[in-house]
Amino acid sequence: MTGEPMVRAEGVHKSYGAAHILRGIDLEVRNGEVFCLVGPSGSGKSTFLRCINHLERIDAGRLSVDGHLVGYRQKGDKLYELKDSEVALQRRDIGMVFQRFNLFPHMTALANVMEAPIQVKGESKAVARERAERLLDRVGLRDKMGNYPSQLSGGQQQRVAIARALAMEPKLMLFDEPTSALDPELVGDVLDVMRDLAESGMTMIVVTHEMGFAREVGDSLVFMDGGVVVESGNPRDVLGNPQHDRTKAFLSKVL
């Protein structure tokens, strides 16, 4: 975990009308790091995640992934927004797994995972299929490749969604509360896949309420509230011995 950070946020602000959601976020995520974002609903965690791949435009500050500004190019001291096609090129390197699985309902699990490499990267069906089968095997769904989303449990659909994101061979994976829509007994299978990814060295930013996962797998943890970073550090330290009253109050409710 050395060199240029994979993600760098400098003074990032985001508003929706009068609502100031992000109020100057500064943080760095190193290459190969599992970076956990925790905090109450409405604290800006998911908005920040969506800014990283320019699903949301930031209003001020700078956000870069792997040394490149996200969504903008700099000319002199001014920033100019990239064209949609240029943003799409940047997004190819950033996988995102949402709270809701967003699978194509008319496609099998295998076809869901094959689709983006074929359509976006122009890969052959044979190459895309070989990788899709390998990834579905990796997430424990070798026997479900021909099933449609409606034939899969929520946890299985989420594992297909993870395989689909990995099919684009991203350098960064974003997880937006990937287990919060699941029945409790299905959460473990999804977290196991994420643990495996972490062990393989994937750079991951995880918005989560799973404090056990954050403590066990996370390299860094940030507690956000009211659009600011309140406290950050090693997950074991922050969760075990929080320094800020707001962090203590939040953790007393969730641990």
| Pairing mode, strands 7-16 and 60-65 | antiparallel
Per-residue pLDDT tens digits of the chain, which is 255 residues long: 557 899 999 999 999 999 999 999 999 999 999 999 999 999 999 999 999 999 999 999 999 999 999 999 888 888 888 998 888 888 889 999 998 888 999 999 999 999 999 999 999 999 999 999 999 999 999 999 999 999 999 999 999 999 999 999 999 999 999 999 898 889 999 999 999 999 999 999 999 999 999 999 999 999 999 999 999 999 999 999 999 999 999 999 988
Q: Which pTM was predicted?
A: 0.94
CA-based R_g, the chain, Å: 18
Confidence (pLDDT) at 125: 97
> Quick one: which of 166, 117, 110 has its CA closest to 142?
110
Confidence (pLDDT) at 76: 87
d(CA 131, CA 137): 10
Confidence (pLDDT) at 105: 96
Confidence (pLDDT) at 4: 83
Sign of CA dihedral 176, 181, 182, 184: positive
How far is it between the farthest Cα atoms of the chain? 55
| DSSP code per residue over the chain | --SS-SEEEEEEEEEETTEEEEEEEEEEE-TT-EEEEE--TTSSHHHHHHHHTTSS--SEEEEEETTEESSEEEETTEEEEPPHHHHHHHHTTEEEE-SS----TTS-HHHHHHHHHHHHH---HHHHHHHHHHHHHHTT-GGGTT--GGGS-HHHHHHHHHHHHHTT--SEEEEESTTTTS-HHHHHHHHHHHHHHHHTT-EEEEE-S-HHHHHHH-SEEEEEETTEEEEEE-HHHHHHS--SHHHHHHHHHH-
